Amino acid sequence: MGYVSRLTNYALKHKPLFFGFLTSAVIGTVFNLLTPLVIVEIIDTAIPSGNYNIVIQLALTYLALTLLYALFDIGGRYGAAITAQKVIYDLRGELYDSLMEKDLSFYDQNETGQLLARVTTDVTTMREFLFWGYRVILIGLAQMIGTYIVMLWLNLDLTLYLLALIPFAGAFIYVFAKKVRPVFYSAREQYGTLSSVLAENIVGMKVVKSYAASEREFERVEKENYRFLEERTEALRLLSFYRPLLPTVFGIATGFIIYYGGLQFLMGSMSYGVFTGYITLVGMLILPARFLSWGVGMYQRADAAGERTFYILDHRDELLNPEEPIEIDRFKGKVDFEHVYFSYHDDKFILKDIHFTARPGQVVALLGGTGSGKTSLMNLIPRFYDVDDRPTVEIDDKIYHIQEDNTVEVDGEKHKEQHGAIVIEGKAYQIREPGHVRIDGEDVRNYRLEDLRMNIGMVHQDPFLFSATIGENIAFAKPNCPFEEIESAAKSANIHDFISSLDEGYDSTIGERGVTLSGGQKQRIAIARALVADPKILILDDSTSSVDAKTEALIQQALEKLMIGRTTFIITHRLSTIRNADLIVMMEKGRIVEIGSHEELIEQDGYYAGIASTLREMELAADTPTLSTEGGSTHE
């Protein structure tokens, strides 16, 4: 049964409900099938006898069967609804837990809109199958089998003709399923693509309007929307063709049976009551035909949705907790990068042979151009990504992974490892063993992810704030921390005065992603959030880039006090911050090109000295008053 069988396993966690509503459906179907037999008795026995009591008894029997059918049908519907909700509750919980545990590479590979579609509309499709699908398929099968049994009892010859329809029904279901499923899956995929485009435009609406790109983005959305229309139209075309086909065949068969049965009645070989009851039963065959057509369509939609949804649960995480993690309470703060290599994809290395040590309490400034690997390097400390775990070899300034068979392919030719090296045309290239990122002497992969990250505080370049109160955002790492701690962190980040000026203070709700705040305010709230976390290792990604000089100075003073006893990594281009660092790491194209203190690097008169000179000139230019070209007034 594929992915629907996995969905069934979730339903089986609620066995009393699951089997309860299925049993109700079958019992209700049995009561419904008995009603034509009562009609036969009324016509053939009660009416001809003229016995009023028998008529009343049979009429009450018919009414009781109808009421019992309705009662069990209501119970089955309610049980199916409750089961569906419970299963979807369980599934959504597992999906959310799985998404929270996924490493960042998973989100790099999957669009947000696709993921949202998988956990919302695809899950809703499976819920519909849980509510309707099981019941209509079971009722369809039960009513078809039961109807044939009763019809065989009433008239063997006519029923044998109708039995020829069963192979046709089986072939129809097989062909229908084979045709429809790929189309439904394609439509679900396209819906995810459309959701991604819509999400991008909603989140990036300010950018769209800033560049007057509304018309172009509308055309982009229209293009994806039209593709979705085409996919859905094709799916509906198949449904429109196949769904009425089975009931139509049964309808044609009914016409034949009415004719043939009518002849038997006229010839006296069938009573009027049996003829009437039999025609009623034949009419009842159309309902299971419709149910089976409907149920198969729902099954295929649920199976396609299940494949997309279970993809999230089945995706194998690259970052896993160790089997025997090292227990820690608080780090001392020593961080070692030992010949670290890192690539997002194959042999396209972002970091190459990174090797340095940050001692406890040191401030390390990372400096380099866009794409130099600063942020990627910092992402290795909390294990958002892992260092390359395969040996590498550098050949003519290009780095290659050593494959599992101890070979490397260079320019289409494979070369075998020989005594720890790759030899090409008589020249040996030394193989390097995988590198490590260590904290307090232990590889970060030996710590539990939760323990590791609880000891590391981060302030990102573009801080993310939740649609909650300011106090809740600051206390995100420690939800139950006392208000005094939140207020103290806000004062250190120089955001307390702004918060106090708001009508509701720390209880003020900010918009989605902090849309109601300025860039500087978001930065300072993010800094306060990191301060409340009280980590032993701090990672600040240009955290003062959105504040003015006065505010930056206040924040810097607070951070300098906070940094005592903490290892701090700062990604920045502000000379005042860089100059005060204990260690400056100058990066270019994924490599460390210079490393040392400000004074040591100035003495070397290399990359850093040139950049420091440029940054100094830029800061002086920014602080120098300029004369207006209109009116000669001076502006700061």
Question: What is the identity of the amino acid at 557?
Answer: Q
**Does 123 lie in the same domain as 244?**
yes
Q: Where are the alpha helices (DSSP H) in 164-271?
A: 165-203, 205-210, 214-242, 245-266
Return the CATH number at 556.
3.40.50.300
Long-range contacts of the stretch 592-599 (C-beta < 8 A, 24+)? 592/354, 592/355, 592/356, 595/356
DSSP-derived secondary structure for 55-120: HHHHHHHHHHHHHHHHHHHHHHHHHHHHHHHHHHHHHHHHHHHHHHH--HHHHHHS-HHHHHHHHT
Establish if 379 belongs to a structural domain.
no
**Would you state the structure tokens that stand for residue 119, as one six-digit string?**
């956990």
Burial call 394-410: b when 16+ CB within 10 Å, e when fewer: beeeebbbbeeeeebeb
**Does 463 lie in the same domain as 438?**
no
Q: Rounded CA gap, 96 and 90, in Å?
A: 10
**Does 254 lie in the same domain as 196?**
yes
Establish if 378 belongs to a structural domain.
no
**Does 573 lie in the same domain as 494?**
yes
Establish if 376 belongs to a structural domain.
no
**Does 602 lie in the same domain as 497?**
yes
Domain boundary among 415, 442, 469: 442
Establish if 365 belongs to a structural domain.
no
Establish if 591 belongs to a structural domain.
yes
Q: Rounded CA gap, 141 and 136, in Å?
A: 8
**Does 356 lie in the same domain as 307?**
no
Among the listed residues 570, 561, 581, 574, the one whose alpha carbon sits nearest the alpha carbon of residue 491? 561
From the centroid of its chain, how far is CA 266?
A: 67
The predicted pLDDT at position 633 comes to 38
Q: Let me know: does 3 contact 307? Beta carbons within 8 Å.
A: yes
Establish if 620 belongs to a structural domain.
yes
**Would you state the structure tokens that stand for residue 419, as one six-digit string?**
């005594």
Using DSSP's 3-state secondary structure scheme, residue 626 falls into strand
Q: Rounded CA gap, 319 and 325, in Å?
A: 14
The predicted pLDDT at position 629 comes to 39
Among the listed residues 282, 333, 292, 297, the one whose alpha carbon sits nearest the alpha carbon of residue 148? 282
DSSP category for residue 319? S
Q: Let me know: does 389 contact 372? Beta carbons within 8 Å.
A: no
Q: Rounded CA gap, 634 and 444, in Å?
A: 55
Q: pTM higher than 0.75 for the full model?
A: no
The predicted pLDDT at position 366 comes to 92
Total length of the chain: 636
**Does 547 lie in the same domain as 425?**
no
Helix H or strand E segment including 276: helix 272-314
The predicted pLDDT at position 550 comes to 66
Helix H or strand E segment including 280: helix 272-314
**Does 450 lie in the same domain as 437?**
no
**Does 485 lie in the same domain as 431?**
no
Helix H or strand E segment including 134: helix 134-154
For helices 121-128 and 52-101, angle between their N-to-C axes, nearest 10 degrees:
160
The predicted pLDDT at position 323 comes to 84
Establish if 369 belongs to a structural domain.
no
Tokens 């800033």 locate to 210
Give the pLDDT means over successive 10-residue stretches in the chain (636 positions): 82 90 89 82 76 83 91 90 89 85 79 79 85 84 80 75 69 69 75 74 64 74 82 78 70 73 73 74 73 78 84 81 84 92 81 93 88 89 88 83 82 82 83 91 91 87 81 88 90 86 88 71 84 87 60 65 80 79 91 91 86 72 49 37
Establish if 288 belongs to a structural domain.
yes
DSSP-derived secondary structure for 364-399: EEEEE-TTSSHHHHHHTTTTSS----S-EEEETTEE
The predicted pLDDT at position 608 comes to 84
**Does 353 lie in the same domain as 461?**
no
Using DSSP's 3-state secondary structure scheme, residue 193 falls into helix
| Structural domain range at position 433 | 336-360+386-442
Question: Is the C-alpha dihedral spanning 269, 273, 274, 280 positive or negative?
Answer: positive
Among the listed residues 584, 569, 456, 469, the one whose alpha carbon sits nearest the alpha carbon of residue 517? 469
**Does 428 lie in the same domain as 476?**
no
The predicted pLDDT at position 630 comes to 41
**Does 534 lie in the same domain as 505?**
yes
Q: Let me know: does 145 contact 291? Beta carbons within 8 Å.
A: no
Per the structure, how many domains does the chain have? 3
| Sheet with strand 436-439: strands edge to edge | 348-358, 335-345, 436-439, 442-443
Question: What is the identity of the amino acid at 66?
Answer: T
Domain boundary among 254, 282, 314: 314
